[in-house]
Amino acid sequence: MATDPLPYARPRAGTQPPALYPDYASTQKRAPKRPPIRFEHTLSETTGPVFESGWAGPESADLTRQHKGSPLGERMILAGRVLDEDGKPVAGTLIELWQCNSAGRYHHPVDQHDAPLDPNFTGAGQVVTNADGGYRFLTIKPGAYPWRNSPNAWRPAHIHLAVFGPAFVTRLNTQMYFPGDPLLAYDPIYQSTADAAARERLIAEYDPELSEPEWALGYRWDMVLRGRAATPMNPA
């Protein structure tokens, strides 16, 4: 007789954003109206794609050396760990990162913001976490930029990150923000998560230990993925 896979934990109330958040205008025509169908996890949910360490080489973790010259802006290190809810490291998982340049413009044809492109900055990187769940990117600090959600709306500086984790239900697509940014109070995407402690997870910490003298500022940021719903008792 087959054993049912141990399910992953459901999010606690208010710790993830809702589908419909009217202050973020684009949710209004894209949020489903019918409640989603609750379904207990099977092998289909508790498995997911495996990315071996060869998926991303060290050069893809350094966004400042992808072109002939150096990109403009403040050089910064973004480093931390990917953990599960029990604080255990999530090793060997793929992290994909993308961001705008220091002037607040994405290297993307849809972005028509009147700010300069930087010929030395694309703004995309990948890493696979190490045995301790650790990751490290070298990049430049992204700028804030306007968007048309409401009159005179500005997105706080942010970096997009996507992580797989061990199962299809641990997939996380999120954004990292900077401490003390005055735009956070006005940003509906950041504010869409009701729980204040959960929102805090989205803000990196300035870490002088991580900064490199005469070179780059260090920001530390851990990502926490869903863990199993129940941990079997440890007989030891």
Q: Which of residues 154-213 bind other proteins (CB under 8 A)?
A: 158, 160, 162, 166-169, 171-175, 189-190, 192-193, 195, 197-199, 201-202
Active site residue 158: yes
60 near other proteins, judged by CB under 8 A = no
CB of 211 to other proteins, least distance (A): 23
* Sheet of strand 124-128: strand arrangement: 124-128, 94-98, 158-163, 172-177
**58: helix, coil or strand?**
helix
136 near other proteins, judged by CB under 8 A = no
224 near other proteins, judged by CB under 8 A = yes
64 near other proteins, judged by CB under 8 A = no
Binding segment for other proteins among 67-75, 92-100, 136-144, 204-212 (CB under 8 A)?
92-100
Q: Which residues are paired to 219 by β-bridges? A: 78, 206
Structure token pair of residue 233:
């008792």
**Catalytic residue from among 145, 177, 190, 219:** 145
Q: Are 204 and 179 in contact (CB under 8 A)?
A: yes
Q: State how far the alpha carbon of 7 is from the alpha carbons of 41, 86, 226, in Å.
A: 5, 15, 10
CB atoms within 10 A of CB 81: 19
Active site residue 145: yes
Active site residue 155: yes
66 near other proteins, judged by CB under 8 A = no
Burial 110-131 (b: 16+ CB within 10 A, else e): eeeeebebbebbbbbbbbbbee
39 near other proteins, judged by CB under 8 A = yes
Q: Which of 110, 185, 233, 236 binds other proteins (CB under 8 A)?
A: 110
**Catalytic residue from among 75, 113, 160, 201:** 160
Q: Which of 71, 78, 98, 141 binds other proteins (CB under 8 A)?
A: 98
**Catalytic residue from among 81, 105, 158, 199:** 158
With tokens 């230990």, the residue in question is 209
**25: helix, coil or strand?**
helix
Q: Which of 55, 89, 107, 207 binds other proteins (CB under 8 A)?
A: 107
Which residues are marked as active site? 106, 145, 155, 158, 160
